[in-house]
């Protein structure tokens, strides 16, 4: 019986380590406040302290490719936590569900989810870019 308990402890810890964290839950730790600018009013992201800990660090995300150009084979695109037909750009989700990606490789459009790894940057200043950017990104698993 004693060996059974040890085996359960070992297998339990191995399973816990092998399980990937859904980083989209961390990206959801953002609020917004309206701020007046010279051009009018805009919503500025307010990142949680926990989320700020990941700024400039390597993360992994599983998501769906959302092309930003017609070719669909680009090194700059959006990665969404949701499939194309219900993503942020279709009005079905919030801005925390997409990440602007700058990859070191060209990525082909696929309707299947892919895993990417890159350096996360939080953006609360530049309105020409999304609130989340994944730079030096690379595919670590594709369909």
Query: Does the structure show a pLDDT above 90 at 60?
Result: yes
Name which residue leads in pLDDT, 16 or 141.
Answer: 141
Q: Give CA–CA dist 76/106, Å, rounded.
A: 8
What is the β-pairing status of strands 98-108 and 114-122?
Answer: unpaired
Strands, E, within 30-113: which ranges? 30-37, 40-47, 58-67, 73-80, 98-108
Q: CA dist 31 to 21, 24, 43, 81, Å?
A: 21, 14, 9, 18
pLDDT per position as a tens digit, 74-127: 889 999 998 867 766 666 678 899 999 999 888 888 889 999 999 999 999 998
Domains of the chain: 21-141 (2.40.50)
């Amino acid at each position: 019986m004693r060996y059974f308990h040890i085996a359960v402890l070992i297998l339990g810890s191995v399973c816990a380590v092998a399980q990937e964290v859904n980083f989209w839950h961390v990206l959801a730790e953002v609020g917004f406040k309206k701020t007046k600018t010279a051009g009018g009013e805009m919503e500025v992201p307010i990142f949680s302290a926990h989320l700020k800990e990941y700024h400039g660090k390597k993360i992994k995300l599983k998501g769906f490719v959302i092309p930003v150009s017609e070719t669909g084979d680009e090194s700059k695109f959006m990665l969404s936590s949701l499939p194309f037909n219900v993503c942020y750009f279709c009005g079905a989700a919030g801005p925390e569900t997409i990440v602007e990606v700058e990859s070191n490789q060209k990525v082909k459009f696929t309707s299947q989810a892919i895993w990417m790894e890159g350096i996360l940057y939080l953006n609360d200043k530049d309105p020409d870019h999304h609130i989340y950017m994944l730079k030096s990104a690379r595919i670590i698993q594709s369909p």
